[in-house]
Chain A
Amino acid sequence: MSKPETGSGAAAATPFRLPAGSGTDTPVFAEPWQAQAFALAVALHQRGLFSWSEWAAALSKEVASPDAADDGSDYYQHWLAALEALLVAKGVAGPELIDALSSSWQRAARATPHGHPVSLENDPERAR
């Protein structure tokens, strides 16, 4: 009864391949910052800063980027970019401020001895 399937992968530019180790037990967030970025968007939506349709539009714009990884591994990078874009669009934070604070957090982390919580105060270049 079974004819060979046509189109199975043939029509596809990038056929779908199930990544190795995709069991139910695979953690949904690969790194803590992904969970934090996820939660920030959910929290801001709950607060009414944007509607979920606005969010979906911002996110789909990012994930539609031609550079998007085929394995979906950069999904939360797109998520973060969408969040930044929405915050800029809403006038909450400018890109310069986000850049400057990111660098400040990185310097603070480097200046913090291992085992101590990283605090922005530890950035040696932070204006007091």
Chain B
Amino acid sequence: MTHDHDHHHDNELDPFAARVKALETILTEKGLIDPAAVDAIVETYETKVGPRNGARVVAKAWSDPDFAEWLRRDATAAIASLGYTGRQGEHMQAVFNTEDTHNLIVCTLCSCYPWTVLGVPPVWYKAPPYRSQAVIDPRGVLAEFGLVLPEATRIRVWDSTAELRYMVVPMRPAETEGLSQDDLARLVTRDSMIGTGLPLRPGSLGPGALWPAAADEGGAP
């Protein structure tokens, strides 16, 4: 009876948002989810879990040979020792770049990704062309990221699964002797841990830097 009012009809729910609301309603009524817990998961993945976790793992591996060895042998446990544990019960394997071999990770099947160390994957990682081309033409894919490797460098592609996720440990950049783990972590980028990029060089916090310039609060611990 109030339909002649001039309502503002800008509360339009798009079909996907409406379906998610519908699922939330059903699952809450059935006691299968707690909306507050769902919000907490969103919060965690939007703000707390991200590639900075992985950057700390890499920086520790660069500075601590025992940790590097542990990471090579049992990445799941080595990563968990820093407080980053998988929620999906997946196993982690760290693949180390060397002078001869560059590693690249992909999930050809869907989008399995090392969430605990890298957060939620970027859009391109989930796109069909990346998922297929990383296997067929890894050099072409790397070139798209501006990464051109020497002809002699072998590119090894690791296809993740629901049970086993990979992370790349890039080579420590030159001229980083004496840098603290915090400063080393600042050189690690998300893409360098996927294999589509290299770490930053010291003193050049360029695109891809995970932390703002030094001496900020809330930086690497």
User: Which residues of chain A have a CB within 8 Å of any CB of chain B?
Assistant: 1-3, 5, 7-9, 11-19, 22-24, 26, 28-33, 35-40, 42-47, 49, 52-53, 55-57, 59-60, 63, 68-73, 75-77, 80, 83-84, 87, 92-93, 97-99, 101-106, 109-114, 118, 120
Residue B204 CB within 8 A of the other chain = no
Q: Do the beta carbons of A53 and B18 come within 8 Å of each other?
A: no
How far is B8's CA from A110's CA once the two chains are assembled, in angstroms? 8
In whole Å, how far is B5's beta carbon from the nearest beta carbon of chain A?
9
Residue B10 CB within 8 A of the other chain = yes
Q: Which listed residue (B15, B42, B110, B120) contacts A56, Cβ 8 A?
A: B110
Q: Do the beta carbons of B137 and A12 come within 8 Å of each other?
A: yes
Bitwise interface map of B from 125 to 163 toward A, beta carbon under 8 Å scored 1, else 0: 111111011101101110111000011000000000111
Q: Do the beta carbons of A72 and B33 come within 8 Å of each other?
A: no
Q: Do the beta carbons of B17 and A31 come within 8 Å of each other?
A: yes
Residue B73 CB within 8 A of the other chain = no
Q: Do the beta carbons of B16 and A92 come within 8 Å of each other?
A: no
Q: Do the beta carbons of A75 and B111 come within 8 Å of each other?
A: yes
Chain B residues with CB under 8 A of A37: 16, 20, 23
How far is B113's CA from A64's CA once the two chains are assembled, in angstroms? 17
Residue B56 CB within 8 A of the other chain = no
Residue B121 CB within 8 A of the other chain = yes
30 A–B contacts from the bound complex (CB under 8 Å): A11-B136, A13-B132, A16-B141, A24-B208, A28-B45, A33-B16, A33-B20, A33-B21, A36-B20, A38-B41, A38-B42, A53-B163, A56-B110, A72-B124, A72-B130, A73-B123, A76-B16, A77-B16, A83-B23, A84-B23, A97-B26, A98-B23, A102-B21, A109-B13, A110-B7, A110-B9, A112-B11, A113-B7, A113-B8, A113-B11
How far is B124's CA from A26's CA once the two chains are assembled, in angstroms? 11
Q: Which residue of B lies closest to A14 (CB)?
A: B129
How far is B110's CA from A68's CA once the two chains are assembled, in angstroms? 12
Q: Which listed residue (A1, A42, A75, A93) contacts B26, Cβ 8 A?
A: A93
Q: Which listed residue (B11, B25, B51, B151) contacts A2, Cβ 8 A?
A: B151
Q: Which listed residue (B34, B89, B120) contacts A38, Cβ 8 A?
A: B120
Chain A residues with CB under 8 A of B126: 63, 72, 75
Q: Do the beta carbons of A52 and B90 come within 8 Å of each other?
A: yes
Chain B residues with CB under 8 A of A83: 23
How far is B126's CA from A60's CA once the two chains are assembled, in angstroms? 11
Given contacts A16-B129, A63-B110, A83-B23, whether A40 and B123 have CB atoms under 8 Å apart is no
Q: Do the beta carbons of A23 and B208 come within 8 Å of each other?
A: yes
In whole Å, how far is B112's beta carbon from the nearest beta carbon of chain A?
6
Chain B residues with CB under 8 A of A39: 38-39, 41-42, 45
Chain A residues with CB under 8 A of B13: 105-106, 109, 118
Q: Which residue of A lies closest to B150 (CB)?
A: A1
Chain B residues with CB under 8 A of A16: 124, 127, 129-130, 133-134, 137, 140-141, 144
